Each structure stands twice: as structure tokens, then as C-alpha cells.
Amino acid sequence: MNKLTTEQIEIFREALLKQREILTTAVAAEGESSKTVELDQSKVGRLSRMDALQGQAMTQETKHRHEEGLRNITAALSRIESGDYGYCSSCDELISTARLEVDPAASLCINCATLAEKV
């Protein structure tokens, strides 16, 4: 595997910035949906409250995943700035371009990612 070119890194940086913008907008929009559910029985029926609680839980989980994605993107942009982008944070080998094309925020090569999933 060859080291990433400056042009490739710039393409990945642009993709990361676009993803960051999308996730930032999504997290902001999810803030309203994840507010505490009103449990006043005189206003809402039991099934409606259950639906509202389930919707709130799903929104909170989605928000959590989006925030995690933002942290991964921030870390990847930091690796670009430090010159470490494209190298596995575990074994220090190059991450394949194909893997970075699928997930520009990837910090592990496919082998280390596979091992991490087994743990």
C-alpha cells in the first residue's frame, strides 16, 4: 500500500467537513425531539405516552450516535492536521484507501477493526 497523496487527503478532508456539517445539523434538530415527555394523564392517553417515550428513546440513541460520529470526525481532522491521517491508530500500518472511501473517519485498519469487534 502506498502513502496517501496530498490530493487524496484533501478529498477525505472535504468529505469529513461535509459529514460534520450534516451531523451538526442533525444533532441540533434532534435536541427538540429528545426533550422530556409530558406524562400528564389528563392530557395524553397511556398508549400515546408509551409511543412518545419510545420515540424519545429512539431520538436520544440517534443523537448519541450522531455525537459519536462528530467525535470521530473531529479526531480524523486532527489526524490530518498532525500528519497521522491514514495510519491505523493501533498498529500504525496504512489504512486502505478503499476503507477510507467508505468511512473517512476510520482510525483502524480492517484487521485491527475486526479484532476490536471481537473483544
Q: What is the mean pLDDT of residues 72-94?
A: 97
Residue 57 confidence (pLDDT) above 60: yes
Asked, for residue 29, whether it belongs to a domain, the answer is yes
Give domain status of residue 1, yes or no.
no
Domain that holds residue 44: 6-118
Q: Does residue 92 form part of some domain?
A: yes
What is the pTM for the complete model shown? Answer: 0.79
pLDDT reading at 55 higher than 90: no
CATH number of the domain within which 49 lies: 1.20.120.910
DSSP letters along the chain, please? -PPPPHHHHHHHHHHHHHHHHHHHHHHHHHHHHTSPPP--TTTS-HHHHHHHHHHHHHHHHHHHHHHHHHHHHHHHHHHHHHT-TTB-TTT-PBPPHHHHHH-TT--S-HHHHHHHHH-
Count of structural domains, the chain: 1
Span 31-47, average pLDDT: 60
Is residue 43 in a domain? yes
Whether residue 96 is contained in a domain is answered as yes
